[in-house]
Amino acid sequence: MTHSLHRIGDRRFMDEDFVWLAYQAKGINDDDFPRKAREVLEAAEEAGCTNWGDVKAGCVLDLDPAQIKAGLGQTSRIRGVFTSRQQVVSFLRLLREKDVGLSLVVSGLLDEVLAACDEAGVKPHTINFSLGVWGRKELLPSPQVLAITTMCGHHMIASRLVEKTIEDVRRGKVKPAAAARRLARMCPCGIFNHERAARLLEAFAAEAEAPQPAAGTGAGAD
Amino acid sequence: MVTVNDHCNGCGVCVPYCPVGALSVDAGRKRAVVDGSLCTDCYVCIRHACARKALEPGPLPEFIDVFRHLLSDPTETMAETGVPGRGTEESKTNDVTGRVRRGEFGLCIDMGRPGIGVRLRDVDRVSRAVVAAGLRLEPPQVSPLGMVVEDPETGRLRQDVLDQHLLSIIIEGKAPLDRLEPVLQALREVESRVDTVFSVGLVMRADEGLSPRLREVLDRLGIPYPFRAKVNVGLGRPLAEG
């Protein structure tokens, strides 16, 4: 799955957007996974993670965190999002100390993630580089819409819903923060960065009066 | 495909929620309509779009119907891979599986994303192109695509499933590093022959990452250097060597 890798479109605030995933490998280190997962989640919360989830249950913007932790099972997948490099560094340091043994992945701007690893004293093992979007890019929505939709890598958040949300914010029907949390609840993994989304929605709504790039140009979708 | 029950009053609230635009409203009948040729059974509309509970799962009678649903709904788990949704483990557990070793690269071609959707006919086209250039596809135990691959030696998919529409599916494979340029070149050539988009992830061991050799390949093919990445930070145990 590459659902946290290809965050594209409008790049604003992308340096405030780091996804983490903690994975068990079937038959290798998946024994006692719920306990290990809870240790990782405690570290994430201590480091300041404000959205995380288990895809089998949902995210903390939709459910009680204690309920998600209590429901963790062998096939659960835990993931979340940080909004600063310093949070990532703290998280990595905590996990290095705990030595839980699960694989840990951090997605984000390459330079930022590598710098965080260096600062935390962890040595990257493998890197999945995004080579961008190929094919009929003229089918894509605007970079503004892509910036929001690609924060849920499974595309549970539709382009048309984002367009409608931007318009609702512009018309004052909903505040950016509330709109962002509403969208975030549709991403069960908990990797939707609702804080970045709120800032983007506010900016896009403010710009909506100005001429927009033509839909389908896919500009910036690299 | 998703079905509409008699609770529907044709309000249209559900329409923008569909990731692939399969929902509309029949104004005459005052009822939502699902386009069965587009619906991927992702169930976003069922979970989020209708307070009246007017949308519900339809029957999934054949293997391919279940396959389409599992690939499109990340809350489901594929029994063969043990990974939820369409996912694969690619780089994420490579520190303990050692699947992609030094001297190799992995490739994840995420067909249909971001947010456009894909027919398996286009997946077949791309799969055959990259396999012919040297990519070895991952087996069904690792990659859901393997369940509809008819011939791993050619990348050919089962011909009876080609019209199926999915939210996305990943073509995943690996090869020795000397095949990287031919594989990416094949991808360049086939991209104009598909009716969708795809996102490409290149998996490398960290210490072989953005080497001068890789930069030369990207330069020759006109591929911009990557600025985003997913980094396996090497905390998994037991650590895989090699």
What is the CATH classification number for the domain harbouring A90?
A: 3.30.70
Please tell me whether residues A85 and A181 are part of one structural domain: no
Tens digit of each residue's pLDDT (9 = 90 or more) over B136-173:
999 988 889 999 999 999 999 999 999 999 999 999 99
pLDDT value of position B141? 84
Domain extents for chain B?
3-56, 86-221
- % of chain B exceeding 70 in pLDDT: 95
Look up the pTM and report it. Answer: 0.93
Angstrom distance (rounded) from CA B70 to CA B16: 22
Is the residue at A86 inside a domain?
Answer: yes
Residue A55: which pLDDT band, with cuts at 50, 70 and 90? confident
Angstrom distance (rounded) from CA A113 to CA B113: 24
H-helix or E-strand spanning residue A116? helix A110-120
Whether residue A9 is predicted with pLDDT greater than 90 in this model: the reply is no
* B16: nearest CB among A24, A158, A222: A158
Contact residues on chain B for A188, CB-CB shorter than 8 A: 74-75
If 0-12 CB within 10 Å is exposed, 13-18 middle and 19+ buried, where does residue B192 land? Answer: exposed
Angstrom distance (rounded) from CA B115 to CA A18: 21
Let me know: does B61 contact B42? Beta carbons within 8 Å: no
pLDDT value of position B240? 87
Residue B75: which pLDDT band, with cuts at 50, 70 and 90? confident
* A134: nearest CB among B197, B227, B235: B197
Is the residue at A80 inside a domain?
Answer: yes
Contact residues on chain B for A103, CB-CB shorter than 8 A: 92-96, 232, 235-236
Is the residue at A62 inside a domain?
Answer: yes
Whether residue A185 is predicted with pLDDT greater than 50 in this model: the reply is yes
Distances (CA, A) of B25 to A203, B30, B218: 32, 7, 47
Please tell me whether residues A155 and A183 are part of one structural domain: yes
Let me know: does B24 contact B35? Beta carbons within 8 Å: yes
Please tell me whether residues A20 and A115 are part of one structural domain: yes
Tens digit of each residue's pLDDT (9 = 90 or more) over B14-66:
999 999 999 999 999 999 999 999 999 999 999 999 999 999 999 999 999 99
Angstrom distance (rounded) from CA B110 to CA A131: 11
The full length of chain B comes to: 242
pLDDT value of position A211? 57
Please tell me whether residues A89 and A141 are part of one structural domain: no
pLDDT value of position A31? 93
Tens digit of each residue's pLDDT (9 = 90 or more) over B181-209:
999 999 999 999 999 999 999 999 999 98
pLDDT value of position B236? 97
Contact residues on chain B for A99, CB-CB shorter than 8 A: 235, 237
Please tell me whether residues A115 and A40 are part of one structural domain: yes
For the segment B201-223, the average pLDDT, to the nearest whole number, is: 95
Tens digit of each residue's pLDDT (9 = 90 or more) over A89-143:
999 999 999 999 999 999 999 999 999 999 999 999 999 999 999 999 999 999 9
Most B CBs within 10 Å, among A155, A164, A181, to test the B interface: A155
Decide whether B3-56 matches B86-221 in CATH topology.
yes
Tens digit of each residue's pLDDT (9 = 90 or more) over B82-127:
555 555 677 889 999 999 999 999 999 999 999 999 999 999 999 9
pLDDT value of position B80? 61
Please tell me whether residues A101 and A197 are part of one structural domain: no
Please tell me whether residues A53 and A99 are part of one structural domain: yes
Average pLDDT along chain A: 92
pLDDT value of position A217? 40
Q: Which domain holds residue A152?
A: 137-207
Whether residue A206 is predicted with pLDDT greater than 70 in this model: the reply is yes
The full length of chain A comes to: 222
pLDDT value of position A1? 42
Please tell me whether residues A78 and A147 are part of one structural domain: no
pLDDT value of position A86? 98
The alpha carbon dihedral of B170, A51, A89, A102 has a sign of negative
CATH architecture, range B3-56:
2-Layer Sandwich (3.30)
CATH architecture, range B86-221:
2-Layer Sandwich (3.30)
- % of chain A exceeding 70 in pLDDT: 92
Residue A216: which pLDDT band, with cuts at 50, 70 and 90? very low
Let me know: does A191 contact A155? Beta carbons within 8 Å: no
Tell if the CB–CB gap between A26 and B224 is shorter than 8 Å.
no
pLDDT value of position A221? 39
Contact residues on chain A for B209, CB-CB shorter than 8 A: 127, 129
pLDDT value of position A69? 96
Tell if the CB–CB gap between A132 and B224 is shorter than 8 Å.
yes
H-helix or E-strand spanning residue A46? helix A33-47
pLDDT value of position B84? 56
Tens digit of each residue's pLDDT (9 = 90 or more) over A130-173:
999 999 999 999 999 999 999 998 899 999 999 999 999 999 99
* A155: nearest CB among B77, B113, B239: B113
Let me know: does B228 contact A222? Beta carbons within 8 Å: no
* A150: nearest CB among B15, B114, B209: B114
Provide the 10 A C-beta neighbour count for residue A67: 11
- Phi, psi for B154 (deg, rounded to 5): -115, -15
Whether residue B241 is predicted with pLDDT greater than 60 in this model: the reply is yes
Whether residue A210 is predicted with pLDDT greater than 70 in this model: the reply is no
Let me know: does B84 contact B75? Beta carbons within 8 Å: yes
Which residues lie below 8 Å from residue B137, measured CB to CB, with a gap of 6+?
Answer: B127, B131, B143, B145, B146, B149, B152, B155, B171, B172, B173
Total domains in chain A come to 2
Question: Which candidate, A121, A156, A111, A162, places its Cα nearest to that of A141?
Answer: A162
Q: Establish whether the linkage from the previous residue to B238 is cis, with ω within 30° of 0.
A: yes
Angstrom distance (rounded) from CA B196 to CA A5: 19
